[in-house]
Amino acid sequence: MFLGTIIYGLLNSAVLAVMAIGFNLTFGISGVANFAYGAMYIFSAYLSWTLFNLLELPYWLAVCASIPTTMALGALMYRFVLLRVRGQALSEVIATFGIGLAILELFNYLGFVGFEYTLPVLIDDSIMIGDTMVDWQRILVTGVAGLLVAGLWAFTHYTRMGLAFRGIAQDERTALTLGIESDRIAMLSVSLGCGLAALAATVIIPLGSISPSEGYEVLIKALAVCIIGGLGSTGGVIVASFLIGFAERFTDTYISSHWTMIVSLAAILLVLGFKPSGLFGRQKELEERI
């Protein structure tokens, strides 16, 4: 049972990291806390579902359409709503949360709830590790988590756009004097964050089902990971995902699944109490931040 808990802790951590990385990226670059993040996650899932089930497009095509659509939605949200309240953190939070609420409650209203709303797994099979059964989809999520972290690191260190992201994140005015347009970069960072939410939905939703309440849960989990890790820090996301991921599974196994949610909330309070900027907050490991 111990080995099984370790394995599931690892897989759970990967799920959390994939859920949180887009939220973290947007915040790290432009300082926008995108509270519509969970709604974007659910939006892309419903879109894929609709394209696949109602329009009967091939699944890969449905996914290839819904990820860019979600990115476009994020860009539009920035251009037409966020841009007007840019720089006022509270207004940004209220605006994005309002948009998220509207999207999720619309799906609720339309009655998109139930177990038939799910996305297909990529490989419908599982393997035994020791005496623990692990489905391939979870292994896929773990692979995606690794690729995302490596890919984003390479992106922000070696591409023109990624370097501009890092410039804006560090000193906006200096970046402006070098011809980097801060509004354009911020729009791209919001859009890219939404795209990562869509990608996360594509690989994680097949483990459960699509529902508006899942949207709120994803937002809360992403927030928990980012707050514990230190908003904007990639290293923080990784460490915090492991921390919460393992803590949840061990609570499940050795205490009771009743307490699972409490564990991450307690972890947030604990970290905020001792280190308000998070484990890898800005003051500390500055380099880890994208």
Alpha carbon 275 to chain centroid distance?
Answer: 23
Contact 234, 24 (CB under 8 A): yes
Map residues 69-108 to x or -, x wherever contact with another protein holds by CB under 8 A: --------------xxxxxx--------------------
Residue 167 binding another protein, by CB under 8 A: yes
User: Stretches 122-130, 157-165, 203-211, 217-225: which one binds another protein (CB under 8 A)?
Assistant: 157-165
What SS3 state is found at 135?
strand
User: Stretches 93-101, 126-134, 178-186, 249-257: which one binds another protein (CB under 8 A)?
Assistant: 178-186
Residue 283 binding another protein, by CB under 8 A: no
- The C-alpha atoms of residue 270 and residue 133 are separated, in whole angstroms, by 34
Residue 182 binding another protein, by CB under 8 A: yes
- Amino acid (one-letter) located at 29: I
Q: Which of 102, 130, 150, 157 binds another protein (CB under 8 A)?
A: 157
Residue 229: count other Cβ atoms within 10 Å of its Cβ. Answer: 29
Where would I find the beta strands (DSSP E) of 110-202?
126-129, 132-135
Residue that the structure tokens 């980012």 belong to = 226
**Residues with Cβ within 8 Å of residue 193, at least 6 apart in sequence:** 22, 23, 25, 26, 34, 37, 74
Residue 180 binding another protein, by CB under 8 A: yes
Smallest distance, Å, CB 169 to another protein? 9
Q: Which of 104, 175, 238, 279 binds another protein (CB under 8 A)?
A: 175
Smallest distance, Å, CB 16 to another protein? 26
Which H or E run includes 121? Answer: none
* Interface ranges with another protein (CB under 8 A): 83-88, 157, 160, 163-164, 166-167, 170-171, 173-182, 286-287, 289
